[in-house]
Amino acid sequence: MAVAGSRRMIWAVEMAVIVMGLMAMASPTMQLSMKNPLQGAVQKINDLGLSVYAIIVTATSSEEAFNESGIFNPDSSVVCKGRTFLLGTIYGRKFVFVNSPDSPAINVAITMEILADKFNLLGIIYFGSAGALNDSLSIGNVAVPNLIGSTGLWTWQPINAPKEGLLKFGEFNYPEKGENWLGSVQYDRSTAYINGTFKERFWIRVTPEWQKIAEEICEVDSVQVVHGLRISSADTYVNNEAYKNFLYNTFKTSVVDKSSVAVALGAYTNELPFILFNGVSNYANGSDVKNSTLANANAVKVLNRFIQRLLLPVPASYDD
Ligand SMILES: *[C@@H]1O[C@H](CO)[C@@H](O)[C@H](O)[C@H]1NC(C)=O
Ligand SMILES: *[C@@H]1O[C@H](CO)[C@@H](O)[C@H](O)[C@H]1NC(C)=O
Ligand SMILES: *[C@@H]1O[C@H](CO)[C@@H](O)[C@H](O)[C@H]1NC(C)=O
Ligand SMILES: *[C@@H]1O[C@H](CO)[C@@H](O)[C@H](O)[C@H]1NC(C)=O
Ligand SMILES: *[C@@H]1O[C@H](CO)[C@@H](O)[C@H](O)[C@H]1NC(C)=O
């Protein structure tokens, strides 16, 4: 163990020397992120130390909406681990765009890690479609949540467990409530990397500074933007009225999706700001009314407005 450890140390020191040497050769504008000076450093030098904002989506319908909006001017692409990263500009600033596989969301987390290793990121923006749990939301609304709850972390308890979980299957028996062999489900907290250590959290908070920038967008092109709501995120796709109502009543979550929690935890791990734009595509209640095209097109409209605001030079009175 000790030998392997010291070998790794020596290797790390040698690598650091190589990296320092390369940095010394680089022009002053070729700033390297010092967060991971070794891992991926050579590749970052190849990328000429670009500082970029990343946009991540997890569906073809999202990518189509992004392309159709015409806001992004791609100029190159790089394929890594099967993911295509498009580099380009939005309003003259460098962005990297990726459509990640999801299902399960661990695929999104892997894409997040590749992004963070390969590029000098300034932050992560996710957009996509989501189901509404809150009856005051309609298809086409765009939610900009402030809290993300991972609602797929279950400890599945037996029937008559001394400590029942929040989701008691017997309460959903039809036509009458009663006992159910499926017992109950206790919802566990996420382990999130926050401020240098792992912490147990149920709610993961969206970067407040970015949320503040987004909060001033109430309507874009007659698209209603809803702020400060909570989102449930889990690998389970929800399209069931009883469970929809349970999530809304228990966790006060207004929207549900599959990718957001992976984006959030990936951003936390890499200490990057992030924000989510969840366009409502359906009602998560068993209704077959669904419009992902509209949800994504509207999410892109809000994303576009957010980027305009994000890139604005900060006025002196901003803190007022
Ligand atoms: C979106 O545009 C990029 C770059 O032009 C292209 O490679 C990609 O195939 C397009 N995606 C879709 C879903 O049309
Ligand atoms: C991390 O630490 C800073 C400084 O103590 C604090 O302001 C911030 O709220 C912490 N972040 C989280 C997510 O707990
Ligand atoms: C449901 O959405 C409405 C409208 O956006 C909002 O005012 C309300 O607070 C939401 N409910 C919850 C529990 O968040
Ligand atoms: C689902 O919710 C929508 C919006 O509240 C409602 O119009 C629709 O009738 C509901 N469908 C079902 C199957 O409950
Ligand atoms: C989705 O919404 C758009 C814009 O309102 C509309 O043109 C389109 O027909 C809708 N698609 C579906 C499948 O309802």
Per-residue pLDDT tens digits for 288-304: 999 999 999 999 999 99
Tell me the C-alpha distance between 66 and 58, whole Å.
Answer: 12
Q: Which of 57, 63, 293 to mutate to test the pocket of ligand 1 (most atoms within 8 A of CB)?
A: 63
Tell me the C-alpha distance between 140 and 149, whole Å.
Answer: 22
**CA–centroid distance, residue 202 to ligand 1 (Å):** 36
**CA–centroid distance, residue 195 to ligand 3 (Å):** 30
Q: Span 229-247, mean pLDDT?
A: 98
What pLDDT sits at residue 9? 38
Atom of ligand 5 nearest to the CA of 293: 1
**Residue identifier of the C-alpha nearest atom 2 of ligand 4:** 283
Longest dimension (CA), the chain: 75
Q: Span 149-173, mean pLDDT?
A: 97
Q: Is 311 helix (H, G, I), strand (E, B) or coil?
A: coil
**Residue identifier of the C-alpha nearest atom 4 of ligand 5:** 294
Among the residue ranges 30-34, 65-69, 175-179, 242-246, the one predicted with the least confidence is 30-34
**C-alpha separations of 302 from 114, 119, 126, 297 in Å:** 26, 25, 12, 9
What are the chain's domains?
52-151+200-311 (3.40.50.1580), 154-187 (no CATH)
Q: What percent of the chain has pLDDT over 70?
A: 82
The pLDDT-based confidence of 16 (bands split at 50, 70, 90) is: very low
User: pLDDT of 178-192, one tens digit each?
Assistant: 999 999 999 999 999
Q: Span 10-17, mean pLDDT?
A: 37
What pLDDT sits at residue 50? 74
**CA–centroid distance, residue 81 to ligand 5 (Å):** 35
Q: Is 309 helix (H, G, I), strand (E, B) or coil?
A: helix
Q: Is 176 helix (H, G, I), strand (E, B) or coil?
A: coil
What pLDDT sits at residue 95? 98
Is the pLDDT assigned to residue 147 strictly greater than 70?
yes
Q: Span 199-204, mean pLDDT?
A: 98
User: Measured on CA atoms in the order 135, 294, 70, 262, is the torsion positive or negative?
Assistant: positive
21 lines ligand 1 (CB under 6 A): no
Cβ proximity of 313 and 162 under 8 Å: no
Q: Which of 255, 289, 290, 291 to mutate to test the pocket of ligand 4 (most atoms within 8 A of CB)?
A: 289
Q: Span 101-130, mean pLDDT?
A: 97
Ligand number nearest to the C-alpha of 98: 1
**CA–centroid distance, residue 39 to ligand 1 (Å):** 30
Is the pLDDT assigned to residue 134 strictly greater than 90?
yes
Mean pLDDT of the chain, nearest integer: 88
Atom of ligand 4 nearest to the CA of 286: 13
**CA–centroid distance, residue 201 to ligand 2 (Å):** 14
**CA–centroid distance, residue 194 to ligand 2 (Å):** 8
